[in-house]
Structure 1
Amino acid sequence: MLIDKSITDFLAELKSDSPAPGGGSAAALAGAIGAALGIMVGNLTVGSKKYEVVHEQCKRLSLDFEERLTALEKYIDEDTKAFNQVMKAYKLSKNTEEEKQMRTKVIQESLKAASALPFTVAETCLDVLELAGKILSIGNINAASDAAVAGRMAEAAMWSAIYNVRINLGSIKDDDFVAEMASRVETMVARSEVLMDQLVKTANEKI
């Protein structure tokens, strides 16, 4: 599994001529790094008596970060699996009309799954961005830069996942599915812009 590899081995696979792992798994990893940084800020805050008044809030935020981290670690491998299913579908036999129809159906189903997975990654990274803003506001000021990086990583990861959603939508023939996903992505982007503006404002005040 990719998640079990060393950083060096993961990067070696990423830079190879194999199409997977690719941007989707990289997006999940970036989001996971953001979540881990958020947890670190929480630990540094709870570990300081100076911030005792926000210890309970930070503990709750850390639990929320942990939940997203666990999910994103899983998505690193799931994204590659989803992409491999698409590649497998394209290799199906198309010698007869029946085989062609079955191949088209399987391709479309796999493309939908390969769009849904990075969308979920993007949603999870949006959560990490929101949590990073919260921990930045109340956390140990000595770790403010780490909280800001957590948010920046989460935003970058979210956009990385969105690009993977969009490229798959371009090959999907189900117009209703495409329209719904595109609309949900736009809603997500609008939300991220609000959260990012607040994160930058708070970071500028603290750093």
Structure 2
Amino acid sequence: MLIDKRVTEFVEELGSNSPAPGGGSAAALAGSLGAALSLMVCNFTEGKLKFSSVQEEIVQIKEKGISLKNRLLEYVDLDTDAFNEVMKAYKLPKETEAEKAHRSEKIQEATIQATLLPLKVAEACVEVLKLSIRVLTIGNPNTACDASVSGVTAYAGFQGAIFNVKINLGSIKDEEFLQDIKARIIELQAVADKTYYLILDKAKEVIG
């Protein structure tokens, strides 16, 4: 599994001439790093008398952050798996009309799955962004830099995931599916952009 590799090993594989892992797995990893940094802020805030008024929310954020971190780590490998399934479908035989039809069907199925996976990454990254702005606002100010990096890293993960969704759309024939995905992209982009700029503004206010 990719997530079981040493950091240096993963980075080297990412930079190799192998088509996977690629941008999708990197986006998921970025999102998980963002979630982990929000958890760091929670750990420096939880149990501190100075922040007694926000303890309940910090605990809730921490629980959600752990779930998001773990989910995004799973997506690192699942994204590569989804890409490999697309490549496998393209390698199916296409000598007869029946084989061509079967191959086309499998390509469509695999491409749809390879679109839905990064969409899940994008959705998770939006949730991390929401945690980032909250911990930057209510968390221990000594970790304001970490909270800010949580946000910008999660946004990078989000945007990377959206690129990976969009790159597949031109190959999909199901019009209803395409319209649903495009509408979801617009919805997610609006929330992500708004939260990201809130994070930048708050970081400027707190850090300078």
Calculate the TM-score normalised by the size of structure 1: 0.98
1:155 aligns with 2:155: yes
1:3-82 correspondence runs (5 A): 3-82=3-82
Whole-angstrom distance in 1 between the partners of 2:184 and 2:51: 38
1:119 aligns with 2:103: no
Letter matched to residue 62 of structure 1: K
Whole-angstrom distance in 2 between the partners of 1:3 and 1:193: 28
* Greater CA drift, 60-69 or 40-49: 40-49
Query: 1:130-159: CA deviations, max 9, x gaps?
Result: 110011110000101110110111111000
Where does residue 141 of structure 2 map in the other structure? 141
Whole-angstrom distance in 2 between the partners of 1:105 and 1:47: 55
Whole-angstrom distance in 1 between the partners of 2:30 and 2:196: 16
Helix, strand or coil: the match of 2:92? coil
Query: 1:49-86: CA deviations, max 9, x gaps?
Result: 32122122111101111110010010000000000000
What 5-or-longer segments of structure 1 have no aligned partner?
none
Where does residue 84 of structure 1 map in the other structure? 84
Helix, strand or coil: the match of 1:184? helix
Shift of 1:105: 0.3
Query: 1:140-193: CA deviations, max 9, x gaps?
Result: 001011101101111110000000000011111112211210111011001112
Helix, strand or coil: the match of 1:94? coil
* Greater CA drift, 55-64 or 124-133: 55-64
Where does residue 201 of structure 1 map in the other structure? 201
Helix, strand or coil: the match of 1:92? coil
Calculate the TM-score normalised by the size of structure 2: 0.97
Whole-angstrom distance in 2 between the partners of 1:17 and 1:177: 32
Whole-angstrom distance in 2 between the partners of 1:5 and 1:18: 16
What's the Cα RMSD here? 0.9
Deviating 4+ runs (over 4 angstroms): none
Whole-angstrom distance in 2 between the partners of 1:74 and 1:120: 11
Whole-angstrom distance in 2 between the partners of 1:41 and 1:131: 10
Aligned positions, number: 207
Whole-angstrom distance in 2 between the partners of 1:21 and 1:115: 15
